[in-house]
Amino acid sequence: MPFYRSSPACGTGDHSILFGNLSTLNPREQINGLTSFLDASTVYGSTPAVENKLRNFTSKEGLLRTNVRYYDNDREYLPFVDQVPSPCAQDPNSDEAERIECFMAGDSRSSEVISLTAMHTLWLREHNRLAKALKKLNRHWSSETVYQEARKIVGALHQIITLRDYIPKIIGPEAFNQYLGLYKGYDHRINPKASNVFSTAAFRFGHATIHPIIKRLNAQYQDDPVLPNLHMHEVFFSPWRLIKEGGLDPLLRGILAKSAKLLMQDQMMNEELTERLVVLSNNGSLDLASLNLQRGRDHGLPGYNDWREFCGLPRLETQTDLNTVIANRKVAEKIMELYSNPNNIDVWLGGLTENFLPDARTGPLFACIIGKQMKALREGDRFWWENSHVFTETQRHELRKHSLSRIICDNTGLSEVPPDAFQLGKFPQDFESCDNIPGINLEVWQESNQQEETCGFPKGVENGNFVYCSEFGKSMVIYSCQHGYQLQGEEQLTCTSRGWNFQPPVCIDINECENQINPSCHTSAKCINTIGGYQCVCTDPYELAEDGRTCLDSGRIPKGSLISIILGVTMVSGLAVLSWIVICRWTQSANGSAQANMLKDRTHLSAETDSKKHHEMKTSQPNILVEPADKIVVLSSVVKN
């Protein structure tokens, strides 16, 4: 089974020698390609380049891009990727003209399974719903302001739903109170990075909760004969099933009404993941459990016992010790048979097999690692939604009302949902009408646009935005420019008895290409300034990398070289043909001269013969020589030619 190692971070492992670290041991570390913060990067991407691909810059409402070919009962789908044809599977009953490409979202894995695609689609719709509503409330907002405010709300909802509604059910209320507790504010001393053991081992507990069957249910939450159940391997990288087989609604009903797989010590992962896992980078089937184990070894994670000690849990030294944390004796014996000593056990396997904590879906080790990581993400993030300067108190009050169930109600055709989307219930007794599911009142985001008696409402600036504040009889406006522009004039204006204390500023274009200290484009690319931005251009055969700044070798022959090659081949071919024509004509001319000389000789010979014959006829009439008829014809033909 193929396995690809994670890329090393610069200056670690063997690469440290290149950075001059010759005397100190510098263990290999891995690059985290995604932001660690709970900031809805799955919706907006982790880099500006990805974010720009996802945005609809032509909209005045700050929207995200949507699919322009397909709709789900007038609701949006994710846009397709730019790379066509994409590697996603196709409907075997459709022809090539009806291709359904992979979807594009903030995370490149959005098309991995259709249930994951459904969640990505749900958040796309929620952003656009919020953006349209905010624009109606604040007509003076620019598209950039609307986009950023909607993104800010979506980021807050990700944080609320994850820590309030999901994590307590995973690690249990006791571990939640022990490792997280109440929010006490931003702490600059806390490192919010995603730890290696969290991303490589602990949070992969979720692989053992994936159900092998995908259900799609009708409006009564019953099996739909038109949309039968699917095995997991039938939905890997198959976005066509979402578009052609009912859209989001039947799929979300199946997710809400079907429990996650229960992690059992003697049946941790279903065979759809260990025998039939499909990834785009490999043609065969893979084993996710084996990949998880090998990934931990690739990253050099310490063993199971070391992490138990890190969390203040007792080390396990014997089979008897192992039996205290693994109720299934046969599983404990099998682990000891394979590893010989508890110190050798891989942390992913050891943490996964532990007995669950009360009201939890993990054991004490994973509860500790997940809890500590969530605390770091919460208190090490200065933009955390509960931090006092991020939202107003009234806005935080409204955000607390929202839930995943409300998001489903607002963005699908479902009319009844469970009050808590993470809590399994029976239909209809445990479901509520969407009319009874609370949600955000966005009016608390509305800015006052009434004319200020003394100064009047502030003037807008082209290619810029402003925030207008009026409180306790004092009015103030703060201006800012859109990306690619810089402010010229006063940033902050205050209303006085004589009017605004300064004239509104203007936003002028920044020539990013003049920045020599921190160039906008890599040295391999040429920078071209545009209004409100810039463009990095690569010379053929190089093409622009995903970061939008660097040129990469495309592996193609340069167009200029290709044209030169074509012209060269054409010229050589032309010369060859011309030479051949000259040679042929010269040969033909030479042959013609030879034939003419031959004819001349034959004519001369014939004349001499005729003269001789004539002489003989005169001297001896009885001895007349007659030329055969066939030779005359042949000679005649030679003369004519």
Which residues sit in the known binding site? 207
Place of tokens 């089937």: 285
Collapsing DSSP to helix, strand or coil, 521 comes out as coil
* Distance in angstroms (rounded) separating the CA atoms of residues 72 and 318: 57
User: What tens digit of pLDDT does each residue of 380-406 get?
Assistant: 999 999 998 899 999 999 999 999 999
Superfamily of structural domain 33-171+235-258+391-445: Haem peroxidase domain superfamily, animal type (1.10.640.10)
CATH topology of domain 448-510: Complement Module; domain 1 (2.10.70)
Res. 547 pLDDT band, cuts 50 70 90: confident
pLDDT tens, residue by residue, 166-207 = 999 999 999 999 999 999 999 999 999 999 999 999 999 999
Of 366, 365, 53, give the one whose Cα is nearest residue 206. Answer: 366
Rounded to 10°, the helix 393-401/143-160 angle is 60
The pLDDT of residue 142 is 86
Q: Quick one: which of 156, 162, 154, 142 has its CA closest to 54?
A: 154
For the chain, the domains span 1-31, 33-171+235-258+391-445, 193-211+260-386, 448-510, 513-553, 559-640
Mean pLDDT of 334-350: 96
Strand partners, 494: 476
| Whether residue 565 has pLDDT greater than 60 | yes
User: Would you call 637 helix, strand, or coil by DSSP?
Assistant: helix
Q: What are phi and psi of 75, to 5 degrees?
A: -105, 155
Residue 611 pLDDT > 70: no
- Kindly state the tokens that stand for 150: 């909607």
Residues 6+ apart with CB under 8 A from 566: none
Find, among 528, 504, 503, 524, the residue nearest to 514 by Cα. Answer: 528
Provide the CATH number for the domain formed by 513-553 in this structure. 2.10.25
Residue 285: predicted pLDDT? 82
How many other β-carbons are positioned within 10 Å of the β-carbon of residue 446?
11
The pLDDT assigned to 589 comes to 64
Binding site for heme b, residues?
Answer: 207
**Among 14-28, 143-157, 459-473, the least confident range:** 14-28
Q: Are the C-beta atoms of residues 485 and 532 closer than 8 Å to each other? A: yes
